[in-house]
């Protein structure tokens, strides 16, 4: 696939806010492996090849297993995930499909059983950021396959 836009083609400051928000999420205290699972699952839903390549490499570098990453496409059927991870994955899928789904009270109550209100806000930001990066990289057609863990 031929790239359409490179990040060098963008205006100065284009991604500054996204990068700053990403650094905030990384330092928020949320479990880094949970964040990688969410990133990977959202990128599967959105079909972002670059983000899947990056997410896989980052997750493995942080100690995630191939089985858990492979199983994310059908996480409801696999025994690999904790209840806390399952609630976060449900939130990620629901927020990713927000135009057709609502963050209903039952889901919010389930989230709140495992996460504080501040953590739910941080999860919403992390999910939203991944969706934003997915859409940017799909628009740009950022090439997949060359990402090195830790680059971002």
Q: Please give the domain boundaries of the chain with CATH numbers for all domains.
A: 32-140 (1.20.1290.10)
Q: Average pLDDT by consecutive 10-residue portion of the chain (152 residues)?
A: 90 95 97 97 97 96 96 96 98 88 89 98 98 97 87 76
pLDDT at residue 98, as a whole number: 80
pLDDT of residue 100: 66
Residue 113: per-residue pLDDT: 97
- Using CA atoms in the order 63, 67, 68, 69, what is the torsion angle rounded to 10 degrees? 80
Query: What is the reported pTM?
Result: 0.92
pLDDT for position 147: 86
Mean pLDDT of the chain, nearest integer: 94
Find out whether 134 and 42 touch, Cβ atoms under 8 Å: yes
Report pLDDT for 149: 84
Largest CA distance in the chain: 46
What are the CA-CA distances from residue 131 to residues 63, 77, 79, 120, 125 (Å)? 23, 24, 26, 16, 10
């Amino acid at each position: 696939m031929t790239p359409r836009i490179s990040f060098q083609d963008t205006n100065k400051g284009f991604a500054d806010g996204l990068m700053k928000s990403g650094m905030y999420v990384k330092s928020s205290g949320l479990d880094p492996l949970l964040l990688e699972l969410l990133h990977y699952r959202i990128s599967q839903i959105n079909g972002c090849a670059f983000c899947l390549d990056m997410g896989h490499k980052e997750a493995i570098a942080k100690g995630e297993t191939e089985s858990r990453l492979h199983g994310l496409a059908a996480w409801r059927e696999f025994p690999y995930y904790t209840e806390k991870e399952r609630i976060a994955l449900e939130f990620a899928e629901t927020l990713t499909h927000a135009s057709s789904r609502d963050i209903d009270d039952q889901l919010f109550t389930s989230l709140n059983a495992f996460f504080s209100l501040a953590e739910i806000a941080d999860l919403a930001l992390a999910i939203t950021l991944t969706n934003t990066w997915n859409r940017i990289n799909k628009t740009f057609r950022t090439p997949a396959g060359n990402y090195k863990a830790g680059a971002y």
